[in-house]
């Protein structure tokens, strides 16, 4: 064998080894691509299911929003109806407060009149007692003069 033939044989063996490694690499790449393909397919199925669920939820949420808006409008109407009642209650509260103030003022004035009346009553009783005393003194003086 000549040097060229040996070089050709080494090149052929190296090429064969290279082909074997490339084939093994391609086999692993094929397995990886198959795995990725399966994962993408499962992801697509999951996305379809989630999309359907989201569509159902969306329609339910829309229904809930419509009902909520109706209920809110109803509550707003009822609150508007009740507003005059709260105004009347507030006015009544103010009237009761004014009545309480007037009552307190009247009691204070009656207390002052009561003190004055009590003083006048005491003065009147003192006057009556003094009058009785003087009348008795006159009678005694009149009796003593007639005896």
Per-residue model confidence (pLDDT) at position 62? 92
Q: What is the pTM of this model?
A: 0.40
Per-residue model confidence (pLDDT) at position 142? 72
Higher per-residue confidence, 76 vs 108: 76
Q: How far is CA 27 from CA 24, 36, 39, in A?
A: 5, 14, 18
**How far is the C-alpha of 59 from the C-alpha of 57, rounded, in Å?**
5
Per-residue model confidence (pLDDT) at position 115? 66
Radius of gyration of the chain (CA): 59
**Least confidently predicted of 76-80, 101-105, 120-124:** 120-124
């Amino acid at each position: 064998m000549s040097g060229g033939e040996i070089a050709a044989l080494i090149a052929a063996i190296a090429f064969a080894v290279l082909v074997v490694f490339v084939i093994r690499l391609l086999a692993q790449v094929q397995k990886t691509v198959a795995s990725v393909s399966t994962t993408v397919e499962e992801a697509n199925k999951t996305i379809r299911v989630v999309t359907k669920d989201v569509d159902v939820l969306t329609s339910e949420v829309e229904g809930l929003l419509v009902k909520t808006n109706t209920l809110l409008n109803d509550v707003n109407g009822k609150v508007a109806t009740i507003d005059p009642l709260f105004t009347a209650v507030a006015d009544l509260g103010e009237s009761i407060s004014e009545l309480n103030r007037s009552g307190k003022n009247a009691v204070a004035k009656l207390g002052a009149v009561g003190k004055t009346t009590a003083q006048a009553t005491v003065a009147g009783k003192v006057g009556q007692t003094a009058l009785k005393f003087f009348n008795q003194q006159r009678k005694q003086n009149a009796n003593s003069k007639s005896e």
